[in-house]
């Protein structure tokens, strides 16, 4: 239980779903975590559960570029240089076909899922450069690999493809400085987002999954933990599916 011993990680969107699972797992592996989210009540509850020695919750809207400097400064002041970033916060956005999707809705999905990933990398990389090591895990989706699984709109697909591209660009740029950047592409994972999506769309997710079941968030945390840790020391610029074979079809 020490795969992240003495590491400091920043995890966005940690108040529920997969972000909560990543934070719990990281702390069990010895990390200190800076957890952020819009949802202050749940974020504070998670911080209390993890213990103030291990976790700091900061309320943040990741799509607000100005929020990042303060989050990083507070995190570094509390625990020291941040050397792991998990860009996890995300939204599905409205269910709409292209001609019905407003420009505002398109922009708001991209602001959270795409632009915030850029803001996060830009804000945290200086801390990693100072420490001489870093691992960034950007949470994309199977929607960042293929568009044929009934996603709410093309905005979600576009934003998740963008995450995959940015990941590779940053990996090439910062590889020489010992900062690794990878993307994770979950399939159907049992989280509040997933429940809301399947309710909205009435889709029968199970029929599309070769392993025949929806994943627990912990099954994604296993992969995120590995990529964040020094065990993945020769891995950068890559995308990792955790999709029960959906994209093998």
Ligand X SMILES: NC(=O)c1ccc[n+]([C@@H]2O[C@H](COP(=O)([O-])OP(=O)(O)OC[C@H]3O[C@@H](n4cnc5c(N)ncnc54)[C@H](O)[C@@H]3O)[C@@H](O)[C@H]2O)c1
- DSSP string of 189-214, one letter each residue: B-SHHHHHHHHHH----GGG-TT-SP
Name every residue whose Cβ is closer than 8 Å to that of residue 130 and which is 6 or more positions away in sequence: 81
Q: Which of 4, 7, 22, 63 binds ligand X (CB under 6 A)?
A: 63
Q: Which of 58, 85, 89, 145 binds ligand X (CB under 6 A)?
A: 89
Proportion of the chain in helix, strand, coil states, percent, rounded to 5: 50, 15, 35
User: Annotated catalytic sites, by residue?
Assistant: 156
Beta carbon nearer to ligand X, 133 or 205:
205
CB of 178 to ligand X, least distance (A): 26
Beta carbon nearer to ligand X, 127 or 159:
159
Q: Which of 24, 60, 114, 208 binds ligand X (CB under 6 A)?
A: 60
Beta strands in the chain (DSSP E): 8-12, 32-37, 55-59, 84-87, 134-139, 179-186, 239-242
Of 57-65, 78-86, 145-153, 222-230, the segment contacting ligand X by CB under 6 A is 57-65
Which residues ranging from 147 to 176 are in contact with ligand X (CB under 6 A)? none
- Integer-rounded Cα radius of gyration of the chain: 17
Q: Are 71 and 82 in contact (CB under 8 A)?
A: no
Burial of 226: CB neighbours in 10 Å, binned 0-12, 13-18, 19+: middle
CB of 25 to ligand X, least distance (A): 13
| Total binding residues toward ligand X, as defined by CB under 6 A | 28
- Is 120 a binding residue for ligand X by CB under 6 A? The answer is no
Name every residue whose Cβ is closer than 8 Å to that of residue 217 and which is 6 or more positions away in sequence: 17, 18, 20, 21, 189, 190, 191
Beta carbon nearer to ligand X, 108 or 178:
108
CB of 11 to ligand X, least distance (A): 10
Of 85-93, 99-107, 126-134, 169-177, the segment contacting ligand X by CB under 6 A is 85-93
Which residues ranging from 175 to 214 are in contact with ligand X (CB under 6 A)? 186, 188-189, 191-194
Which residues ranging from 217 to 236 are in contact with ligand X (CB under 6 A)? none
The C-alpha angle with vertex 40 and arms to 242 and 68, in degrees rounded to 5, equals 70
Q: Which of 62, 136, 225, 241 binds ligand X (CB under 6 A)?
A: 62
Q: What is the SS3 assignment for 72?
A: helix
Q: Are 46 and 69 in contact (CB under 8 A)?
A: no
Contact characters 8-47, ligand X, x per CB under 6 A: ----xx-xxxxx-----------------xxx--------
Residues that bind ligand X (CB under 6 A): 12-13, 15-19, 37-39, 60-63, 88-91, 112, 139, 141, 186, 188-189, 191-194
């Amino acid at each position: 239980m020490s795969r992240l011993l003495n590491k400091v990680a920043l995890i966005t969107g940690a108040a529920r779903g997969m972000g909560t699972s990543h934070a719990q797992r990281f702390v069990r592996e010895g990390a200190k975590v800076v957890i952020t989210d819009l949802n202050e009540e749940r974020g504070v509850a998670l911080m209390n559960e993890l213990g103030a020695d291990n976790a700091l919750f900061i309320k943040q809207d990741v799509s607000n570029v100005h929020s990042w400097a303060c989050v990083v400064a507070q995190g570094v002041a509390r625990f020291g240089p941040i050397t792991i970033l998990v860009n996890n916060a995300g939204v599905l956005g409205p269910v709409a076909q292209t001609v019905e999707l407003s420009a505002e809705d398109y922009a708001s999905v991209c602001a959270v899922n795409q632009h915030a990933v850029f803001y996060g990398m830009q804000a945290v990389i200086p801390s990693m450069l100072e420490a001489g090591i870093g691992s960034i895990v950007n949470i994309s989706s199977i929607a960042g690999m293929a568009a044929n699984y009934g996603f709410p709109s093309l905005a979600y697909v576009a934003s998740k493809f963008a995450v995959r591209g940015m990941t590779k660009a940053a990996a090439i740029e910062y590889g020489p400085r010992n900062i690794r950047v990878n993307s994770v592409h979950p399939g159907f994972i049992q989280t509040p987002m997933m429940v809301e999506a399947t309710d909205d769309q009435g889709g029968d997710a199970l029929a599309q999954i070769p392993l025949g079941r929806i994943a627990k968030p912990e099954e994604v945390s296993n992969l995120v933990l590995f990529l964040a840790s020094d065990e993945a020391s020769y891995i950068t610029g890559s995308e990792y599916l955790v999709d029960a074979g959906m994209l093998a079809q």
